[in-house]
Amino acid sequence: MKNMIQAGWHQAARICKSPYFNQRPLNEVSGLVIHNISLPAGCYGLPHIDGLFQGCIDTNADPSFSELVGLEVSAHFLIRRDGEVVQYVSCDDRAWHAGVSSFNGRENYNDFTIGIELEGTDTEPYTNEQYQVLVQLTLELFNEYPMLNQSKIVGHCDIAPGRKTDPGESFDWQRYLGMLSG
């Protein structure tokens, strides 16, 4: 497999750097967290996700954005509905995607995971392009970071239960994991 990730940056992604990251406390990448996002909820292809992760979202653009004022959040990747990959933070750095998090005896999932956002909602099916690109990106990350494997992939809902529900009931875990194995 061709090395698509160099110095933490995916060579085929559209780069849209976020200020919301810092150095990982351990030099470890050993997990993936799958999320979803759409701004406004259920609206796709708009520039607001880039704006949020870059700290320049126009919070007056939609009434629902009032809750985003002052929010400092990012992810490593976004996979848009059409399969476009956007990268905000180097995989070698800690993106601020997980928040307060704990699972299987580990806390602070930002410290050691890569956050992948899917443009979508908990209830609307993801696109074929998103699944294909997510599988390809996951395999490239496995190739680059040897501590990663299929057993270390979680949803945001798994590490922040009661607080987060994404990637939601619409995410087909069986399809994704089956495609990874196949």
| Cβ burial, residue 181 (10 Å; 0-12/13-18/19+) | exposed
pTM: 0.97
Cβ-contact 98, 109 below 8 angstroms: yes
CB neighbourhood size of 145 (10 A): 20
Tell me: the pLDDT tens digits for 26-55?
Answer: 889 999 999 999 999 999 999 999 999 999
Tell me: the pLDDT tens digits for 111-155?
Answer: 999 999 999 999 999 999 999 999 999 999 999 999 999 999 999
Q: How would residue 8 be classed by pLDDT, with cut points 50, 70 and 90? A: very high
Note the pLDDT of residue 5. 95
Tell me: the pLDDT tens digits for 49-78?
Answer: 999 999 999 999 999 999 999 999 999 999
Tokens of 32: 């993936």
Note the pLDDT of residue 3. 84
Label the pairing between strands 106-107 and 102-103: antiparallel
The CATH number linked to 119 is 3.40.80.10
**Number of domains within the chain:** 1
Q: Is the pLDDT of residue 16 over 80?
A: yes
Note the pLDDT of residue 134. 98
Q: Is 140 helix (H, G, I), strand (E, B) or coil?
A: helix
Tokens of 62: 């939609």
Question: Is 117 annotated in the active site?
Answer: yes
Q: Is the pLDDT of residue 159 over 80?
A: yes
Q: How would residue 1 be classed by pLDDT, with cut points 50, 70 and 90? A: low
Active-site residue, selected from the candidate residues 28, 117, 144, 169: 117
Domain that holds residue 153: 5-181
| Rounded CA Rg of the chain | 15
Note the pLDDT of residue 182. 84
